[in-house]
Chain A
Amino acid sequence: MKTLKDMLGEARQVVPEEGPAEVARRLAAGEKVVVIDVRDPDEYRDGHLEAASNISRGFLEFRVGTAVSDPSTPVVLYCQTGLRSMLAAKALKDLGYSTVINLQGGYQKWVQSGMPTVRDVPMTQDQIQRYSRHFLLPQVGDKGQRKLLRSKVLLIGAGGLGSPTAFYLAAAGVGTLGLMDGDTVDITNLQRQILHTTADVGKPKVESAARTLKALNPDVNIVALPTRITVDNVMDIIKDYDLVVDGSDNFETRYLVNDACFLAGKTNVHGSIFQFEGMATVFAPNQGPCYRCLYPTPPPPGLVPS
């Protein structure tokens, strides 16, 4: 009869281990790895890796298919100290998952290494109802909704592009929305800038935007920044956000946002419009081109109406 020690020994033959730093590096690099916390739900709720889904050991073989659709996708498993997940990883290897990695030392070592964790607070009854349609989407679900609620998005410009963007992100429950715009509402804005109302004419755009968004979803923390983005404030502002959405209306700001996002390692979602034409792309530092790759120099003044 095999002892526990024999079983762990066998598992170690086929399951490589990686420490917290290596796993953190994979996640930071945006690698397509699936992280599964195999502890019990109460342990998971008390604190877990942000990237992790919870499938407790007892259900792993039954439910892994929903979390990992392609058996060649690398999977990182962890438990509290790295033993339960070692046996769990062996089970996944036996099921044909080609790359299964055990987080060495488990959650305990992850915490001791000073790596970030998140803790799930129970959703309120209102939130459960408000986001119920998200829970029905397998790609969002409870875990995705919590990610949205924890996320922080900065919108540069609360005008034609910033308005619908902010509206939808707030509705979806993005937890913190930074709104940056130094302008006041003009009556000529109202035909398209749907965050603002007739009564808001003359008021700062971020003020009317904050009121509209708060009314739509009180869950959302609105950070109103009634100022233009400048070389002096940009780095300090973007550092607090996970993602930047550039809905600005001039080239100077676009190059500034592009450069600052690249230097700070922030993804920049870019949109622009002219009359009936629009364009959109995403500039992700070191994963794809930046705005300067697309437009190395700005158009001469007068060529493109601003």
Chain B
Amino acid sequence: MKLVLGIGEPLIGRLLTYDALGMRFREVRLRRDPKCPLCGTSPTITDLSVHRNGTGACDVSATDGHREGVAVGVSPKAGG
């Protein structure tokens, strides 16, 4: 709603995490990755063809497994 209304401060560049058991909110500042294949300075993804190889999403050819980006220590959550 804030984005639609153009009010307040949206979570652009900030990751808000919520631990419901410990009842804690945490905020992690996120930076753009200049090496990002999509929005970095020399992008390699310029259309959606990367999603057409059946493995979908992503560069699963990367051999170093899952790398966490700038939000070190915040693991991705699967559930919707």
A binding-site residues for B, Cβ under 8 Å:
139-140, 144, 147-148, 151, 153, 157, 159-162, 168-169, 172, 174, 231, 234-235, 242-243, 247-256, 258-260, 262-263, 267, 269, 272-274, 276-290, 292-300, 303-306
A-B contact pairs, 6 of them (CB 8 A): A139-B7, A278-B20, A284-B12, A293-B36, A296-B62, A303-B66
Minimal beta-carbon separation of A209 from chain B (angstroms): 14
A288 contact set on B, CB distance < 8 A: 12-13, 30, 32
Is A231 a contact of B51 with CB atoms below 8 Å?
yes
- Residue on A with the closest CB to B18? A278
Q: Bound complex: CA of A188 vs CA of B10, how far in Å? A: 33
A273 contact set on B, CB distance < 8 A: 77, 79-80
B18 contact set on A, CB distance < 8 A: 277-280
Q: Apart from A256-B56, A276-B19, A298-B66, list 19 A-B contacts with CB within 8 A.
A: A139-B8, A140-B5, A148-B4, A174-B1, A243-B4, A252-B57, A274-B79, A279-B16, A279-B74, A281-B12, A282-B11, A284-B10, A288-B13, A289-B39, A290-B39, A292-B36, A295-B76, A296-B36, A297-B60
Is B71 a contact of A294 with CB atoms below 8 Å?
yes
A242 contact set on B, CB distance < 8 A: 4
Kindly supply a per-residue 1/0 record for chain B positions 51-80, scoring 1 wherever the CB is within 8 Å of any chain A CB and 0 otherwise: 110001111101011111111001111111
Q: How many B residues touch A, CB cutoff 8 Å?
A: 56
B binding-site residues for A, Cβ under 8 Å:
1, 3-8, 10-21, 30-33, 36-40, 45-48, 50-52, 56-60, 62, 64-71, 74-80
Minimal beta-carbon separation of B24 from chain A (angstroms): 10
Chain B contact residues: helix, strand, loop or mixed:
loop
Is A272 a contact of B4 with CB atoms below 8 Å?
no
Is A234 a contact of B1 with CB atoms below 8 Å?
no
Is B77 a contact of A293 with CB atoms below 8 Å?
no
Q: Bound complex: CA of A298 vs CA of B75, how far in Å? A: 11
From B48, B56, B76, contact of A260 by CB (8 A): B48
B62 contact set on A, CB distance < 8 A: 296-297
Is B5 a contact of A147 with CB atoms below 8 Å?
yes
Q: Bound complex: CA of A260 vs CA of B52, how far in Å? A: 13
A262 contact set on B, CB distance < 8 A: 38-39
